[in-house]
Amino acid sequence: MRIIIGVSGATGVIMSYYLLRALKEVEGCETHLVVSDSAKLSWELETDLPFQRLLDYADEFYDVHNLAAAISSGSYKTDGMIVMPCSMKTLAGIVSGYTDNLLIRAADVCIKENRKVVLCTREMPLSKIHLRNMAAAADLDCTIIPPMLTFYNNPQSLDDQINHVVGKVLMQFGIEHKSFVPWNGVN
C-alpha cells in the first residue's frame, strides 16, 4: 500500500504526526509526505517537537514546491491521499483545480485517477464558502473527515481524541488503528 500524506497550514498539525506514526506500524504501507510552508510554521507554533520527528515517520518526503516529484503524476501509482489537517485554502485549491503546489497537485492527481482522497478539514466556525467547498469536494468523491470531538468512546485525553480521528481516517483505507475505540452498541 502506498499513501500520500499532505499536511497543510491549518491548526492541528500534530494530528499528522499521529497519523504517520500509526501508518509506520502497518506492514507494507509506504508513506509519501508533503508539507506546506504554512504547515511548517504551524508546526513550530503548535508543537514542541522538532520538525524532523514528523519526517522520521515518512518513507519519502517531498518539497511542496517540487511539481516534478513522483506524486505529481498519475503514472506513479498510489492508493490515495490523506490531507491532515486540510486548511480552507488547500480545500479551495483542491476543488478549483488550482494546483500551485505539490500538495494540491497530488490531490488533483488522485481525484483524476479515481483514487481515494480524505480531507480532514479544519476550521471553526464554518462559513458558507467553506461549506460550499466541502460539498464540492464531496461531489468530487473526496471523503470529508473533520477532526470532531467524540465522547462515546470515553476519551481521557487529547491523545484519545486524536487517535479516534486517525482511526476514522485509516478505516477509509481498510486499516485498523490499535488505539481506536469503536462504538460497540448498547446491550
- Residue 186: what pLDDT? 85
- Residue 184: what pLDDT? 85
**Cα separation, 95 vs 134, whole angstroms:** 8
Report the interhelical angle of 88-96 vs 128-139 (nearest 10°): 50
pTM over 0.85: yes
- Residue 131: what pLDDT? 98
Give yes or no for a contact between 32 and 45, defined as CB atoms under 8 angstroms apart.
no
The DSSP element (H or E) to which 82 belongs, if any, is strand 80-86
The DSSP element (H or E) to which 35 belongs, if any, is strand 30-35
The DSSP element (H or E) to which 60 belongs, if any, is strand 60-63
**How long a stretch of residues is the chain?**
187
Tell me what percent of the residues of the chain surpass a pLDDT of 90.
95
Burial (CB count within 10 angstroms: exposed 0-12, middle 13-18, buried 19+), residue 42: buried
**Cα separation, 87 vs 119, whole angstroms:** 9
Average pLDDT, the chain: 97
First vs last Cα of the chain: how many Å apart?
A: 37
Bond prior to 147 in cis (omega within 30° of 0): no
**Sequence-distant (≥ 6) Cβ neighbours of residue 137 within 8 angstroms:** 91, 94, 95, 117, 119, 144
DSSP letter string, 84-145: EEE-HHHHHHHHHT---SHHHHHHHHHHHTT-EEEEEE--SSPPHHHHHHHHHHHHTTPEE-
Residue ranges of the chain whose pLDDT lies below 50? none
